[in-house]
Amino acid sequence: MTVGIHRDNIAIVLQRPRYPENIGSAARAMCNMGFGRLIVVNPGIWDEERIRRLATHAAGSVVDTIERFDSLHDALAPFGHVVGTTARLGGQRPVIKFPDVLAQSLIPLSQNNAVAIVFGPEDRGLTNADVKLCHQLVNIPTADFTSLNLAQAVMVLCYCLSVAGQSERPRQSPRLAKRIELDQMYDELAAALIDIGYLNPENPDYWMIRIRRFFTRVSLRAGEASIIRGICRQIKRYGERRYAQGLRDGGNR
C-alpha cells in the first residue's frame, strides 16, 4: 500500500501577501491538489470579493476557512515542522533545492505533526527574521528567470506534496515540539546562557542562531524541549541561590 502526505496536517501559510487576487489563486491551486487549510498573515489588502473571484466557486470552501493572523510568529505557534520557501540560495540559507525531495521527507513527519509551508510576499520573499522561524527551506528550481507568481509557487509545492508516496509504511514519527514550545525553550535557553556569561547580552543572536540550527537538525520532540527548559530553570535557580548566599556571606563579615 502506498502511503502519502497526510493532507489534513498540511497548511499553506501566506506571509504578507500584497494582492487579494494572489490569495484567491493560491486557494484555487490548493483545492486543485486536495489541500484545504490556508493561513494568511498580515495581508497588504484584504478584499474577500476579489479573493473569491480568483478562487472561483470550486475553492470557496478553502476561502471560507481561511485563518488570519497579524504575525507569522503567532500563526506558526501550533506547528511541529515549518518549511519556508525561498528563491535566494547560499549564505545563511541552507536550502533543499528540489520540492519533490522535500515532499518525500515530509511523508513520515506529516503523519503525527502539523506542517506549515510558508510563502513570503510577492516582491521580496521571506525575511531573515521569517526564516528563523522555519525548520528548513526549499527552493523551486527555475531557469534564468527566478521570479514565480505566488500562486504558481503554491501550485508547484502542493503538486509535489500530493504525488509524493512511499511503497512501505513510513517509520513512526514522534510528536515534535511545536513552534511555540521551541520559542519558549530558546527564550529560556538564551536567558540562562546570558546569566552564566556564555552569551553577550548585547548581541545574543550571534551564538543563538548557531544553537537554533543545531537543534533544528536534531528535530526535538516535545518532551526533549521540556527537558531543556527544565535544565534552564534549574540553572536560573542555582544562580539565584548562589547570589543570595553571596549577599548573606558578605553581610556576615
Last residue of a domain, one of 134, 166, 198: 166
> Of 52-56, 142-146, 177-181, where does mean pLDDT reach its minimum?
142-146
Asked if residue 247 is part of any domain, the answer here is yes
Q: What is the CATH number of the domain that holds 90?
A: 3.40.1280.10
Segments forming the whole domain that contains residue 194: 179-251
Q: What's the confidence (pLDDT) of residue 167?
A: 63
Read off the pLDDT of residues 70-96 as tens digits, 9 standing for 90 and up. 999 999 999 999 999 988 776 666 677
Q: Are residues 208 and 84 in the same domain?
A: no
Number of domains in the chain: 2
Read off the pLDDT of residues 100-124 as tens digits, 9 standing for 90 and up. 999 999 999 999 899 999 999 988 8
Asked if residue 100 is part of any domain, the answer here is yes
What is the distance between the alpha carbons of residues 19 and 53, in angstroms, rounded to a whole number?
13
Note the residue count of the chain. 253
Read off the pLDDT of residues 186-202 as tens digits, 9 standing for 90 and up. 999 999 999 888 888 88
Q: What's the confidence (pLDDT) of residue 65?
A: 96
pLDDT band, residue 64 (cuts 50/70/90): very high
pLDDT band, residue 170 (cuts 50/70/90): low
> Of 130-139, 192-201, 213-222, 228-237, where does mean pLDDT reach its minimum?
213-222
Asked if residue 171 is part of any domain, the answer here is no
On the question of pLDDT at 50 being above 60, the answer is yes
Q: What's the confidence (pLDDT) of residue 241?
A: 84
Q: Are residues 162 and 184 in the same domain?
A: no
| DSSP track, the chain | --EE--GGGEEEEEES-S-HHHHHHHHHHHHHHT--EEEEES-S---HHHHHHHHTGGGHHHHHT-EEES-HHHHTTT-SEEEEE-S--BTTB-EE--HHHHHHHHHHHHHHS-EEEEE--TTT---HHHHTT-SEEE----SS-----HHHHHHHHHHHHHH-EESSPPPPPP-BPPHHHHHHHHHHHHHHHHHTTSS-TT-THHHHHHHHHHHHHHT-BHHHHHHHHHHHHHHHHHHHHHHHHHHHHHHT-
Last residue of a domain, one of 102, 133, 166: 166
Q: What is the mean pLDDT of the chain?
A: 88
Q: What's the confidence (pLDDT) of residue 251?
A: 59
Q: Are residues 201 and 146 in the same domain?
A: no
On the question of pLDDT at 68 being above 70, the answer is yes
Cell of 204: 545574543
Read off the pLDDT of residues 130-165 as tens digits, 9 standing for 90 and up. 998 998 899 998 887 777 899 999 999 999 999 998
For helices 179-195 and 222-251, angle between their N-to-C axes, nearest 10 degrees: 30
Q: What's the confidence (pLDDT) of residue 221?
A: 86
Q: What angle do CA 152, 97, 1 make, to 5 degrees?
A: 80
Last residue of a domain, one of 166, 195, 211: 166
Q: What's the confidence (pLDDT) of residue 117?
A: 97
Q: What's the confidence (pLDDT) of residue 132?
A: 87
Asked if residue 130 is part of any domain, the answer here is yes
Q: What's the confidence (pLDDT) of residue 171?
A: 63
